[in-house]
């Protein structure tokens, strides 16, 4: 696998397969949405497969499909099947809002998807509609059950915690891990996206979330060897069957352990979620670039990875909405 300039092994590629979404979450995009990419600007299935094949050949063994919402992309099951057949790909996962997962769980599992993460920021139906603007909580819960039944395990639930909006539910969410198959990850909200607003400054530090959980439910014990290659730190409550993870992008930078690149749905390779420097793969790909030339561009992106981000220093560092970057 390649190493960046700070001796971090880079082996994880997040692939945004679409900038479109069937929800309008308040921390992600405005209600009217954001300008969508033209159809011809979005990478085709065979182009994504070729790029991922090259990445896997370089040592990127973990691939996560994201969006927008990946399940709204036409041909997503075929894309998963083609990716799953790539030699050397150890882990193929997906992050989804879960709205369509009840329909797609079995076909995705049969196609070769290994596991899913589901975005779920509240357990209250009315609040779910408020936060997503268009969604139905029951669809997500049914999708989670379908994923478990299809063998897409572990199913991890991502909760973006926003002060004054849903932070009063962190204990209720954590309590779910006392039951089988509930793995909850609490994520500090990041100030990304055009026209996005939340109550107050929004950020609830992970240390505060942990203190609330421990005060109500008991001490959290670290879990080592947790499946996954992402930035979360994992814990368990006494006698819990599931795990609790914390992703602290704002208050506790994990950049020194970052092992990923990001590919946008229009073929731009990002060394960092907040990178202003992108490397265009789509143009050379469509102009007949060889595999060796594309490999060189990947290695260029690896070398360009910054030491760390500056989220805590600037209010809105990225001009791109999260639906375009790929979450």
- The predicted-structure confidence for 248-296, as pLDDT tens digits, reads as follows 988 887 788 889 999 999 999 999 877 778 999 999 999 999 999 999 9
Instruction: Tell me how many degrees the CA angle 126-22-327 measures, rounded to the nearest 5.
Output: 100
For the chain, give every domain's residue range: 12-325
Q: Which CATH superfamily is domain 12-325 in?
A: Aldolase class I (3.20.20.70)
**Residue 1 pLDDT greater than 50, yes or no:** yes
**Residue 119 pLDDT greater than 80, yes or no:** yes
For residue 236, the cross-strand partners are 221
CA 108 to chain centre: 17
- Within 10 A of 194 (CB to CB), how many other CB atoms are there? 15
Which residues contact residue 280 at a Cβ distance below 8 angstroms, ignoring those fewer than 6 apart?
267, 268, 269
Helices (H), the chain: 45-58, 76-84, 101-111, 125-132, 137-150, 170-175, 206-217, 282-286, 291-303, 322-325
What average pLDDT score do residues 54-64 get? 97
For residue 116, the cross-strand partners are 94, 155
Decide if 36 contacts 324 (C-beta within 8 A).
Answer: no
**More confidently predicted of 180 and 273:** 180
- Give the chain's radius of gyration (CA, Å): 19
Determine the Cα–Cα distance for residues 201 and 56; give it in Å rounded to an integer: 39
**More confidently predicted of 199 and 34:** 34
């Amino acid at each position: 696998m390649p190493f960046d300039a700070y001796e971090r092994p880079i082996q994880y590629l997040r692939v945004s397969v679409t900038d479109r979404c069937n929800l309008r979450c308040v921390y992600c995009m405005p209600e009217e949405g954001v300008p969508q990419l033209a159809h011809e600007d979005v990478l085709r299935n065979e182009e994504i497969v070729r790029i991922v094949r090259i990445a896997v050949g370089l040592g990127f063994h973990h691939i996560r499909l994201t969006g927008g919402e990946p399940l709204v992309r036409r041909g997503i099951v075929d894309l998963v099947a083609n990716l799953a057949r790539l030699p050397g790909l150890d882990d193929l996962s997906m992050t989804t809002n879960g709205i369509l997962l009840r329909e797609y769980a079995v076909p995705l599992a049969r196609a070769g998807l290994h596991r899913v993460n589901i975005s779920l920021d509240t357990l209250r139906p009315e609040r779910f509609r408020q936060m997503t603007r268009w969604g139905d909580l029951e669809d997500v819960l049914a999708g989670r059950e379908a994923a478990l039944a299809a063998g897409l395990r572990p199913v991890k639930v991502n909760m973006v915690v926003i002060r004054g909006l849903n932070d009063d539910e962190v204990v209720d969410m954590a309590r779910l891990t006392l039951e089988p198959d509930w793995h909850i990850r609490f994520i500090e909200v990041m100030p990304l996206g055009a026209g996005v607003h939340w109550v107050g400054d929004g950020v609830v530090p992970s240390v505060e979330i942990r203190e609330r959980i421990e005060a109500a439910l008991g001490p959290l014990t670290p879990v080592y060897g947790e499946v996954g290659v992402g930035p979360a730190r994992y814990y368990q409550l006494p006698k819990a069957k599931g795990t609790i993870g914390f992703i602290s992008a704002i208050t506790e930078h994990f950049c020194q352990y970052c092992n990923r690149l990001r590919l946008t749905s229009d073929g731009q390779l990002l060394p960092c979620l907040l990178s202003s420097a992108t490397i265009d793969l789509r143009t050379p790909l469509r102009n007949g670039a060889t595999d060796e030339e594309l490999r060189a561009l990947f290695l260029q992106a690896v070398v360009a990875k910054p030491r760390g981000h500056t989220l805590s220093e600037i209010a809105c560092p990225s001009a791109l909405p999260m639906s375009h970057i790929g979450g």
